[in-house]
Amino acid sequence: MRVRFTSLFLAILFVPTLALADSHKADFTGGYADGTGGSRLKGFGVAAALHAPATVPHRLTWLVDYSHRSGTDNGVTVKQDAWLFGARAMLTPPSCKLKFFAEGLFGPVNTNDGVTSGYKKAGGIGLGAEYFPTKAVPTQRGYDTQTNLGLRVQVDHVWRSERGDFTRVYVGLVYRLIEAKK
């Protein structure tokens, strides 16, 4: 039920993005999530990013990131849900096939392990890389890739207000909505 709700929430959240695809870009990511934080947890992560309007530098995107990870620690089942929001900045020129980025995140994280439960405040930073297999082509706002599908690897370190911090590693696919040519 939770996976269906998450998918529906992300789809509804980005309907305006699809309507504005002629002047904005967006990207969607999904993949395997692993990491530490007292326990080794495995699961999945999804993220969606909306590129900022033309008045903001083109390399900046606003994003929402959801991950669900679970595992066991000393026979206790541990589940962790994180809803993080923030901004991502591309660090390499848009014409590169291999693009590096940094991001800042904040939002609620729920770790249910019998010690505490409920969503607690969290914030974090992340670094990552994307690879798109075709060359970049010029557009009105700079450069963009000719393909919509690429690979993404990302590492986030998240600090929580009432518990220890944790590190998440994502490996997955990224799909971009390409800016319309005018």
Higher-confidence residue of 137 and 181: namely: 137
**Structural domain tally of the chain?**
1
- Decide if 161 is inside a domain: yes
Residues 87 and 62: their CA atoms lie apart, in Å, by 5
Answer yes or no: is pLDDT of 10 > 80. Answer: no
- pLDDT tens per residue across span 23-74: 347 889 999 999 887 678 899 999 998 877 666 666 788 999 999 998 887 7
> How many CB atoms within 10 Å of residue 83?
17
Task: Return the CATH number at 19.
Answer: 2.40.160.20
What pTM, to 2 d.p., does this model score?
0.74
- pLDDT tens per residue across span 123-137: 999 999 999 876 556
Confidence of residue 102 (pLDDT cuts 50, 70, 90): very high
pLDDT of residue 163: 77
- pLDDT tens per residue across span 31-44: 999 988 767 889 99
DSSP for 143-159, written as a single string = EEES-SEEEEEEEEEEE
Of all residues in the chain, the percent with pLDDT exceeding 90 is 32
- Decide if 163 is inside a domain: yes
Range of the domain at 72: 2-177
- Decide if 40 is inside a domain: yes
Q: With contact defined as beta carbons under 8 Å apart, do 91 and 60 qualify?
A: no
- Decide if 29 is inside a domain: yes
Of all residues in the chain, the percent with pLDDT exceeding 70 is 69
Structure tokens belonging to residue 7: 């998918």
Mean pLDDT, rounded, for 83-105 = 88
- Decide if 182 is inside a domain: no
Q: With contact defined as beta carbons under 8 Å apart, do 106 and 86 qualify?
A: yes
- Decide if 115 is inside a domain: yes
Lowest mean pLDDT among 10-24, 34-48, 77-91, 137-151: 10-24
pLDDT of residue 96: 77
